Structure 1
């Protein structure tokens, strides 16, 4: 992992809390190399998304394939709507105030700040679960419509995906070659010398 990070001069690396040590190892290697051979590597920083990292699934537990409670991001619109309608809720009546729970937790990840505030107020005044689910579907569908179209396009035209992957691989090879040449130069391991 350190080689992948350092070879491509990564500045920020998104990781889970359990992967921070990998970034720290990469930083230690880069610091040692830079001190010994001159500044060559960028010191990477880790980035952890604190809030919203774990979403609840259809049953309120942590969303997981092994629990069978996932909401597939690229599900067809109607399937997505049906899945959202299946999300478990408590038995409070429509006009009773609601506790912020599974639906709201998911809603926050897709809604705007104004929408979140408005929904919070609706919870306090007693919005019905059916209405919350309709709103949840609306914001999820709005945010995922564009990515869903791209997903369908790539699934229907896999060659487009392979072309994009090949372009990315070529860019990565070029960058790695340049950086590797600089590393070899710094340590005195150049061809022909």
Structure 2
């Protein structure tokens, strides 16, 4: 490989939001200039919680929107390989082989699995969801990924990948790099309701593709300090979602500090703080909107990127699988059986 490789991506369940940006996209934008970058459209992972016929019918549309969001955020199309997970069946073969390198109790200790099941309204954990980190290991290692920029939720999954890579290399010889987890500066972003992390399913998210009016409306409805009933009452800055967003997205640091000082002293109302946050967020999102408009105007480009990327990735995955099977001895096992069968056929065909 000419350059170290990065593997990252998302499930095609809808448009990406600010939580995705701080959790991993910001890192992807910085890293994709240094790494050979693969971006997975993880529709098989989507099936662990969203697997109705209607969900699946939305994959192609959601995939296009997701890739457009990623490009709009700053990823250059000539430095990225986008691919559709379900279009590469060899990943499933690798997943099957990896399942034997990790135990059920180990997977049950991954904290996000129960959270994902709860968020999806599932009383019991499906087999596929329990094995989510194993399939993720196949995703990362099938292209020999060496860097994985992820949010807080997926950190434990990447650790499972590291364990599987080490286990495989120990048993069968060094085939895989042990990937490095690259954590975000802001691991999670609380939702606009202040009750949980930003999430599409909870309806508490600001999308990267939201227009200015939508952003302002969502900001003006944000949760703040519940104990503050009037503007002249001193308020809490710590734990206040509005100020958490100011800290991450408002580039005018002097303004942020001045607002915090006035808020703590009871000299500014929530409306003014939110108004300035809306301005700051729209200032942050404007370049993303402009890039998105350019990619949307080039009809068919995103589809072409996905097709080209999927075809290229499948070649890489097939190459990896051949090496994996050879290292494990699976190739030689069948070769030996076939040779004996050929000798048998020749002997049977020879006259006595």
- The correspondence of residues 22-37 of structure 1 with structure 2, limited to 5 A, is 22-37=157-172
Q: Deviations over 1:4-60 (max 9, x none)?
A: 12112222332544761x434333332222123322101124455474514131x43
User: Match of 2:195?
Assistant: 61
User: Match of 1:136?
Assistant: 277
Instruction: Name the Cα RMSD after superposition.
Output: 3.2
- The correspondence of residues 95-134 of structure 1 with structure 2, limited to 5 A, is 96-100=233-237, 101-112=240-251, 114-115=253-254, 116-125=256-265, 126-134=267-275
Answer whether contact 1:92 1:98 (CA < 8 A) is retained. no
Q: Deviations over 1:130-183 (max 9, x none)?
A: 221122112211221122233444555551221121232133223223323333
SS of alignment partner, residue 244 of structure 2: helix
- The correspondence of residues 142-161 of structure 1 with structure 2, limited to 5 A, is 142-155=283-296, 157=298, 159-161=300-302
1:183 aligns with 2:314: no
User: Match of 2:128?
Assistant: none
User: Match of 1:171?
Assistant: 312
2 CA distance for matches of 1:72 and 1:186?
A: 45
Query: Normalised by the size of structure 2, how large is the TM-score?
Result: 0.46
Query: Normalised by the size of structure 1, how large is the TM-score?
Result: 0.76
Distance 1:30 1:144, change over 3 A: same
Distance 1:119 1:10, change over 3 A: farther
Structure with larger RCO (C-alpha < 8 A, sep 6+):
2
Answer whether contact 1:98 1:127 (CA < 8 A) is retained. no
Distance 1:142 1:38, change over 3 A: same
Following TM superposition, the consecutive aligned residue runs of length 4 or more in structure 1 with deviations greater than 6 angstroms are 190-193
Q: CA deviation at 1:124?
A: 3.5
Aligned residues, how many? 190
